[in-house]
Structure 1
Amino acid sequence: MRLRTALLATTLMAAAPAAASATTITGPYVNVGGGYNLVQSQHAHISGFAGGASSDENVSSSRYRHQNGFTGFGAFGWGFGNGLRAEVEGVYNYSEINHRTASVANKTRSSDQSYGGFVNVLYDIDLKQFGLDVPVTPFVGVGAGYLWQHYNPTYSYFSNKNTSHLGGTNGGFAYQGIIGAAYDTGIPGLQVTTEYRMIGQPGSFVDGAFSSSANYANGSTGRGHVNFDQRFNHQFILSLRYAFDTAPPAPPAVAPVPAVPVHAPARSYLVFFDWDKATLSARARQIVAEAAQASTHVQTTRIEVNGYTDNSAAHPGPRGEKYNLGLSVRRADSVKAELIRDGVPAAAIDVHGYGEAHPLVPTGPDTREPQNRRVEIILH
């Protein structure tokens, strides 16, 4: 029941919201924390008691039950910026002992403690890679190290009036698994972490590791050895972690420079006509269609359609100049009509006729010049 309650508390702490986005550690960091330490009941194999004589053939088995306890640790580590971290940790564990089988109820009272160190390898899980933009970074890890286990003087009182005393210190290999989550505090580099740890010591205690003595009802005493089987600690921890080399600050924002509007240069198209004609050839219609399409792809506010003629005329003299002026307007009107058929709004088109003025190719009087018989389409 106590284990299930502690697991539920850790789950709720890990699910609590945080105020800032999570941080992946790059560079050195320190971590200090503590919490609840729950030790599973442990089996002990006791040998060497025979009414005052020592004999390895006299073997008994007992089970020691633990109750409340606490743990504290400090660690120094390094984050590699890709979620992977490595750290060296020192740890201290304390646990009460409140019962031993084969003794009168509530007559075993003591405690034990362990201390030592681990080398841990951990991995921070960036939830953003899964599309979750949440302010928490889960992590998992494993560790290996060495712990010294010390039993404080432990007395047990038996129903036959005998008493026994257990005590001693021994060290051995230890390992641990870690599951947790980190939350930013809003202070650069400082995080709060919650985690669950399971520490195991795989049968590292051997004969002679602990001394035990017994006082018998007949007044005799005996001494023997105690071997404990595997030991498991379940720990629920709250800690503070500080990373020294946090991510570099973002470069200062630069005020945007207002863009200077750049007007696209006018685009022009030339349509040529036969002498004394205002009708469009197939090629001329193709050019007008290109101009109409271009007007939809560029920002166009106005379309000029300017008509021209050469300085030859069907009617010579002053009458000829007037005739050519009208011919240039008819040519411009033909182009305008074709633009409208190609989808250009009529209101966007300005038509002008300039007659013999502004020739592309200077010529002598009364000269038929094909390049001067034209209409110019200008997109503004």
Structure 2
Amino acid sequence: MTLLRNTCFATAAAVALTVGFAANPALSAQVDDREHGWCNVVTNIQPENVIRSSSGKAVIQDSSYPCEPQMAEEPEPEPEAPESFVVYFDFDRSNIRPDAAETLVDVLETAEMEDVDGYALTGHTDTVGTAEYNMALSLRRAESVRDWLVDRGVPSDEISVAGRGFSEPAVPTGPDVREQLNRRVEIVFQ
């Protein structure tokens, strides 16, 4: 018995096989076309199953039926990205603004609900000024957020601090561009 995966190919093969019926009347094939939505498509290519269409071509009578819906395997869930928050700063400043303080209160509340083990603080700047100056400013911003959290009870050994200067902008700009969204500290739970 021959297993054929494509009904177009199977039909062509069946027509070609009909020539062999004279020599071997028990010749048969099993057709399975799951790729096109048909399951257990079985055609025993016996002389009585091959008929002629109105165009004179050989056509196979078959017993095909649609596939039963198969349950797809559940994909592995993507690991959740650590929760993160962003606080913004005024130009050339590292003090905590009132809107930043509101975000930091949300950080503390969320950390309490999620039993957070640590905080990674990364400071950033816009592109105004030298690379050295902005690296120091980004670090001061991250330290300012750390101090705010420590003042409210977060142990300092649970907080890591880093500065990136203007090397990782949230909004790419040219040099010497004041961009509010780049003057930030990103807070990621660990």
Aligning the two structures, in what range does the TM-score lie when normalised by the shorter sequence? 0.5 to 0.7
Q: What does residue 359 of structure 1 align with?
A: 169
Conserved 8 A contact 1:304-1:377: yes
Instruction: State which of 153, 158, 162 in structure 2 corresponds to 1:343.
Output: 153
Change (3 A) 1:340 1:263: farther
CA offsets 1:89-134 (integer angstroms, 9 cap, x no match): xxxxxxxxxxxxxxxxxxxxxxxxxxxxxxxxxxxxxxxxxxxxxx
User: Matches of 1:305 and 1:294 in 2, distance apart?
Assistant: 16
Q: Could you state the TM-score of these two structures normalised by the residue count of structure 1?
A: 0.29
Are 1:374 and 2:190 counterparts? no
Which digits, 9 at most, give the CA deviation of each residue in 1:56-99, with x for residues without a partner?
xxxxxxxxxxxxxxxxxxxxxxxxxxxxxxxxxxxxxxxxxxxx
Counterpart check, 1:294 vs 2:110? yes
Give the unaligned 5+ runs of structure 2.
1-75
Give the partner amino acid of 2:85. Y
Partner of 2:98: 282
Q: Which of these residues, 127, 130, 139, is aligned with residue 311 of structure 1?
A: 127
Matches within 5 A, 1:7-26: none
| Whole-angstrom distance in 1 between the partners of 2:139 and 2:100 | 16
Residue identity opposite 2:115 in structure 1? Q
Q: How does 1:99-178 map to 2 (within 5 A)?
A: none
Contact 1:292 1:343 in 2 (8 A): no
Q: 1:328 aligns with which of 131, 138, 146?
A: 138
- Quick one: distance in 2 between partners of 1:356 and 1:265? 24
State the shift of 1:369 in Å.
0.6
The equivalent residue for 1:103 is none
Q: Deviations over 1:5-63 (max 9, x none)?
A: xxxxxxxxxxxxxxxxxxxxxxxxxxxxxxxxxxxxxxxxxxxxxxxxxxxxxxxxxxx
Alpha-carbon contact 1:289-1:339 (below 8 Å) kept = no
Q: Which residue of 1 aligns with 2:30?
A: none
CA RMSD of aligned residues (A): 1.7
Higher Rg of the two aligned structures: 1
Give the C-alpha shift of residue 299 in structure 1. 3.3
Are the equivalent residues in 2 in contact too, given 1:274–1:370 (CA < 8 A)? yes
Structure 1, unaligned runs of 5 or more: 1-259, 314-319
Q: Distance in 2 between matches of 1:265 and 1:296?
A: 18
Over the matched positions of the two proteins, sequence identity in percent amounts to 36
Residue deviations 1:292-324, cap 9 Å, x none?
2211111322210000001112xxxxxx11010
CA distance in 2 between counterparts of 1:264 and 1:339 reads 24
Structure in which a larger fraction of residues adopt strand: 1
Equivalent positions of 1:193-208 (< 5 A) are none
| Higher RCO (CA-CA < 8 Å; seq separation 6+) | 2
Q: What is the Cα deviation at residue 264 of structure 1?
A: 4.7
Q: Which has the higher helix share?
A: 2
SS of the residue 1:276 aligns to: coil
1:34-53 superposed matches below 5 A: none
TM-score by length of 2: 0.57
Tell me how far apart the structure 2 counterparts of residues 361 and 339 of structure 1 sit (CA, whole Å).
27
